Amino acid sequence: MTAKLVIGLDGHGSGERALAHAQNLAKLIGDCEIIIAYIVEWSPYSFQTPEENAERHKRREEEIKTAMSRVVDPAVAKLTEAGLNATGVVRHGDVAHALNAISEENNADQIIVGRSSEGGFAKRIFGGATSNLVMSASVPVTVVS
């Protein structure tokens, strides 16, 4: 049976450490498939101007392309080089919710993330993406500091 790991990257240092940890883990497991996920924070309930709405599809495509080329593709390449089986995905939405959804869709065994890099007022009220994920995920979550 193949083990499946979902790694959530946010383009920051902690994500890199999560990647390194997953790489070690995968080597120990042996037969392992890794899914690199990047979530573009997005809410369907935000307020936009008419012009932003009209350009939304274009922006979304650009966001996916940028995230792929800057974060996901290099990570996939790095893992593939190390002889691991890796694929990448970019999704819009709430980070915790989307990572969990990806792991459910792929029947993943574990989610690995870095400690979230956001801060400030919103985090105090709503909690960080990482803690939300830990509280709501349906598979085990490893948080790499």
Partner 1 sequence: MKKISTMLATQAAAAVTATSAFAQEAMTLDQQVNEVFASITGPFVSFIFAPFPGTSFPWIVMWLVVAASVFTLYFGFVQFRFFGHAIGLVKGDYSDPKDAGEVSHFQALATALSGTVGLGNIAGVAVAVGIGGPGATFWMILAGLLGMASKFTECTLGVKYRNEYDDGTVSGGPMYYISKGFDELGLPGGKILAVLFSIFCILGALGGGNMFQANQAHAQISGIFGDYPGWITGIVFAAVVFAVIVGGIKSIARVTEKVVPFMGILYVGAALIILILNYDKIGWAFGQIFAGAFTGLGVAGGFVGALIQGFKRAAFSNEAGVGSAAIAHSAVRTKEPITEGFVSLLEPLIDTVVICTMTALVITISGQLIMDPGTGQFTLNEAGTAIATVGGVSGVSLTSNAFGATISWFPYILAIAVVLFAFSTMISWSYYGLKSWTYLFGEGKKTELVFKVIFCIFVVIGAAASLGPVIDFSDAAIFAMAVVNIFALYFLMKVVRKELASYAQRLAAGEIKKFKH
19 part of the interface to partner 1, by CB under 8 A:
no
User: Which of 25, 29, 40, 134 touches partner 1 by CB under 8 A?
Assistant: 40
* Least distance between partner 1 and beta carbon 89 (Å): 11
- Is 91 one of the binding residues for partner 1 (CB under 8 A)? yes
- Here the tokens at position 23 are 């790489």
* CA–CA gap between residue 66 and residue 49 (Å, rounded): 23
Does 54 engage in binding with partner 1 (CB under 8 A)? yes
Map tokens 């890796």 to a residue.
Answer: 86
Alpha-carbon distance of 40 to 15, in angstroms, equals 14
Decide if residue 55 touches partner 1 (CB under 8 A).
yes
Nearer to partner 1, 55 or 73 (CB): 55
- Would you count residue 101 as binding partner 1 (CB under 8 A)? yes
CB of 126 to partner 1, least distance (A): 16
**Residue 104 makes contact with partner 1 by CB under 8 A:** no
Residue 70 binding partner 1, by CB under 8 A: no
Question: Of the candidates 25, 3, 2, which has an alpha carbon nearest to the alpha carbon of residue 144?
Answer: 25
Q: Is 121 in the site for partner 1 (CB under 8 A)?
A: no
Q: Is 50 in the site for partner 1 (CB under 8 A)?
A: yes
Contact residues: partner 1, CB under 8 A: 40, 42, 44-58, 60-61, 63-64, 91-93, 98, 101
